[in-house]
Structures are given as C-alpha cells and as structure tokens.
Amino acid sequence: MTDLVHAWLGDLREVLHAEPLTVSDIRIGVFYTAARLSTGDVGVAFTPRGLEDTVCCPKSAAEAPPAGRMAGQQAWALAEYAFSPIALRRAAGVAVLNALSALAMVRHGIPGGRLVEGLDALDAIEIRGDDRVAMVGAFVPFIKKLRSRVADLWIIDKHREALKPDELPFWKPPEEAAQTLAQASVVIISGSALVEGEIDGLLAASSRARKKILAGPTASPWPPTFFDRGVDVLGGIRVLDAQRILAIVSEGGSGYFFEDAAEKVSIVRNGKAPNA
C-alpha cells in the first residue's frame, strides 16, 4: 500500500487535475510553517525544532529549504518536499499540501464527510467511561477533559518535561507507542506526525481503536485520503485571513495566536457530529 503522504499528494493531483499552481508566499516560523498558493489558499504545518536541522555549515545549508527561492515555484514540486529526509523541507511540503487541500475543499466540498465550524475534535465523537484513550502528543485541553472521564489515559510524547507533575502518571515514551496504541479504544494523534514522518506506523498500530482522531492546525488535509486510512475526525483549522496568518507565523506565533486569522473546524467522517 502507498504510504499516506504519497497517497495524499496523488489524490490531490487527481481531484485538482494537476492544475498549474504556484506558491506565492511561504514562511517558516519557529512553531509553524505557512504556504500561500497563487489562488490565495493557505496551509500551515508544524515546524520541527530539532537541532539536527540547524544550518551551521555548507552541508546543512544545502540540505535546508532553499530560502529566498521557494516563492514563485510550482506548488506540485514544493509539495514533494513532504517526502524529504530533511524535517524542515517536510514542513514546507506539508504546508503546501494543506494549502492544496484547502483549495480542493473549496471546489469539491467534503466527500464522505462534513465540516462543522467551531467544533472541538474531541466533541465530534462520543467518549465513554470505559474508553482507554491514547494520545500522541500532549494536547492540554484534551488532557483536562479526559483525565477524569475515561478508564485509562496514556500520553505518548517525547517531551516528558512538558507535562505537569500531576500528568506524569499518564506519560508513555515513544518507544512504547505501538503497544500502547494497540490497547486503546480511542486514539488521538497530533497532526505534527505528518511532518515527523510517523503517521503510517501510528495508524497501523491503532487498527483496533473504534475512533481515530487527527488533531491540531497541521491536521487540515484533503479528507477522503485520510478517511480511507481509518481516520474518523480531522480536527484542524480553516484559514480566514491569509495575510494575517502569514504574519503570525513569521513573528513566531504558536497555534494559540491563530484565532485572529483562522477558525477551528472538525471534519467528521460519515454522519452527524454530536452537538452539531
């Protein structure tokens, strides 16, 4: 089976008929990367911040995204950066894929699902008291909602220090991700996995879960590709003010600043969302 990101690009090429499009602007910020198409559509993606991508010598500079030369390039070519072994290039590629996805949704709607404005991804499914919930990435609002409502809660995150002391009992190291996800009835995966390159393995390990959610600003892709891989809810964003979100990203803004330029949306597979 084709990996998810390659399938995502292939499906977009098909639905948009490989239309010639350019990337008119691209920003790589501290927390997020944003790309705007010549149509005005914008996509964002998590910016990885590992030191392995630090541009400190000619070799690393050659591997980094070609700063100052990306704007004006063909969108389909830049989208292929999503397959790069270099994390910063992947961030640029995923941002372009999300921008192409936004354009596809404007033109073709949500085949196989529906978009609900303002709905939190967690509220788009029914959480039961006997659920065992595994979360890949520490979503603070979700932790608060879930910790006293479910039978088990596990937080898989490589940054243990990011958790509060009373959240540490829920922590699992990434090395235990597969065995933890295999036990979960509900799985919530950060959209950053699209950039980190982990998404296929995480979804495969989650095959027994009754509900799977991809959440965060990066989780704003063309839905049919992800529905086909078993994702039930995409809890992402819809950009309302392109110039504003480009400025926020450029100035080091995290997702908490996006409410000035984007709205939270949940795209739910097949059927009515609770409380919608």
Q: What is the pLDDT of residues 40-98, one digit of tens each?
A: 999 999 999 764 545 555 555 556 787 888 999 999 999 999 999 999 999 999 999 99
Residue 253 shares a structural domain with residue 126:
yes
- Tell me which of 108, 137, 164 is where a domain ends: 108
The 10s digit of each residue's pLDDT in 106-165 is 999 999 999 999 999 999 999 999 999 999 998 888 999 999 999 999 999 988 998 999
Asked if the structure places residue 216 within a domain, the reply is yes
Residue 210 shares a structural domain with residue 119:
yes
Residue 82 shares a structural domain with residue 210:
no
- Tell me which of 108, 123, 158 is where a domain ends: 108
Query: In angstroms, rounded to a whole number, what is the distance separating the alpha carbons of residues 272 and 115?
Result: 10
Res. 256 pLDDT band, cuts 50 70 90: confident
Res. 276 pLDDT band, cuts 50 70 90: very low
| CATH, residue 241 | 3.40.50.11590
Check: CB of residue 201 under 8 Å from CB of residue 176.
Answer: no
Residue 158 shares a structural domain with residue 223:
yes
Which token pair is 94?
A: 């995923």
Q: How many CA atoms lie within 13 A of 151 on its CB side?
A: 9
Query: In angstroms, rounded to a whole number, what is the distance separating the alpha carbons of residues 228 and 9?
Result: 14
Residue 71 shares a structural domain with residue 134:
no
Query: In angstroms, rounded to a whole number, what is the distance separating the alpha carbons of residues 79 and 94?
Result: 7
Residue 147 shares a structural domain with residue 233:
yes
The 10s digit of each residue's pLDDT in 218-242 is 999 999 999 999 999 999 999 999 9
Query: In angstroms, rounded to a whole number, what is the distance separating the alpha carbons of residues 167 and 57?
Result: 40
Residue 91 shares a structural domain with residue 104:
yes
Check: CB of residue 135 under 8 Å from CB of residue 188.
Answer: yes
Return the higher-pLDDT residue of 269 and 69: 269
Q: How many domains does the chain have?
A: 2
- Please report the pLDDT score of residue 266 as a whole number: 97
Res. 274 pLDDT band, cuts 50 70 90: very low
Check: CB of residue 186 under 8 Å from CB of residue 215.
Answer: no
- Tell me which of 93, 108, 123 is where a domain ends: 108
Residue 95 shares a structural domain with residue 163:
no
Which token pair is 55?
A: 């541009």
Asked if the structure places residue 65 within a domain, the reply is yes
Asked if the structure places residue 73 within a domain, the reply is yes
Query: In angstroms, rounded to a whole number, what is the distance separating the alpha carbons of residues 190 and 193?
Result: 6
Asked if the structure places residue 274 within a domain, the reply is no
Mean pLDDT across 183-204:
96
Residue 119 shares a structural domain with residue 244:
yes
Query: In angstroms, rounded to a whole number, what is the distance separating the alpha carbons of residues 259 and 134?
Result: 27
Residue 175 shares a structural domain with residue 158:
yes
Residue 241 shares a structural domain with residue 126:
yes
Asked if the structure places residue 20 within a domain, the reply is yes
- Please report the pLDDT score of residue 272 as a whole number: 46
| CATH, residue 76 | 3.30.390.100
Domain of residue 197: give its range.
113-269
Tell me phi and psi for residue 137, to 5 degrees. Answer: 105, 140
Q: How many CA atoms lie within 13 A of 49 on its CB side?
A: 9
